[in-house]
Structure 1
Amino acid sequence: MKQGEEFSFPLRVYIEDTDAGGIVYYVNYLKFMERARTEYMRVLGYGKDYIFNNDLMFVVRHVAVEYQAPAQLDDELRATAQISDLRGASMTFSQQVCRGDEVLARGDVRIACVDRNTVKPRRMPRDMVARLSGGE
């Protein structure tokens, strides 16, 4: 996987994801998107071991989500993650949560790389930037 390629992560809606009306509570779409980003990075070899061994963390800097249709209890969904912008110390993911071909929510999430100890911005490791941009 590299910049521009879409990663897809399957999900199911559980009772804990829903509100009193039986639909997915709006903030849980952000959790679904987080899972897709995490699994995307894990597939590329950038799981928690890599992150911690390189003393870095990724934090959300900006998020914008548009909700289009509700998901309900027991729905099978998929959350996608696709890098739309890659810079030295940040990246933006374009993401969707879908039920079949129907887009339920779409969002753009900018992630900043920070030093794990100081929580100050830092550049991503060169190998990571190269792999994410397709230069491996």
Structure 2
Amino acid sequence: MRAQNGVPPFTHRCRVYFEDTDAGGIVYYVNYLKFMERARTECLRDLGFLQSTLAEEGLLFVVHSAEARYHAPAKLDDELLVSAEVIELNRASLRFRQQVRRATDEALLCEGQFMVACVRADNLKPRAIPQALHAAFAGQGGAGTSRAGE
């Protein structure tokens, strides 16, 4: 899946381990959210920013809202492709569209959207996304959806 500006979404590869599944070897539904969280973290790392460094600088990203739709199960030992694409970029928040696909056949297993807010670490109040980070996200796919003043 390509972004409207032609930049492909960031994709993180991961494997389904025993700890991710129920007794039948099927991924427990909440673990898809964990896979997507890891993809957002790796997307940030790919842009040159570490959450640990940002936290030391007093900046955190917190999930404001999450929406997920499940299509098919992932199973023990499946390799997954988890995408993270910025589809909305505001002054102090961004929205990701994410998909989890099985690597062998690219079957869509789960998809969702996540609104992530930028907050101050000391009081958890909203704060502007730093300019360098904002520009990096804009180049990753959110440039066409930025809205001033939000």
TM class, shorter-chain normalised?
A: over 0.9
Q: Are the counterparts in 2 of residues 5 and 83 from structure 1 also a CA contact under 8 Å?
A: no
Q: How many Å apart are 1:49 and its aligned residue?
A: 4.1
Q: How many Å apart are 1:133 and its aligned residue?
A: 1.0
Identity %: 48
Q: What letter matches 1:35 in structure 2?
A: R
Match status 1:73 vs 2:82: no
Q: What residue in structure 2 maps to residue 21 of structure 1? A: 24
1:113-128 paired onto structure 2 within 5 Å = 113-128=118-133
More strand by share: 1
Long gaps (5+) in structure 1: none
Q: How many Å apart are 1:55 and its aligned residue?
A: 0.8
Q: How many Å apart are 1:128 and its aligned residue?
A: 1.1
Match status 1:11 vs 2:18: no
Q: Are the counterparts in 1 of residues 60 and 120 from structure 2 also a CA contact under 8 Å?
A: yes
For residues 73-127 of structure 1, the C-alpha deviation after alignment (integer angstroms, 9 at most, x for no partner) is 0011111100000001000000001003101000001100000011111111111
1:1-136 paired onto structure 2 within 5 Å = 5-100=8-103, 101-134=106-139
Long gaps (5+) in structure 2: 144-150
**Poorly superposed stretches of 4+, deviation over 6 Å:** none
Cα 1:131–1:106 change in 2 (3 A) is same
Q: How many Å apart are 1:132 and its aligned residue?
A: 1.4
Q: What letter matches 2:75 in structure 1?
A: Q
Aligned-partner Cα distance in 2 for 1:16–1:49: 25
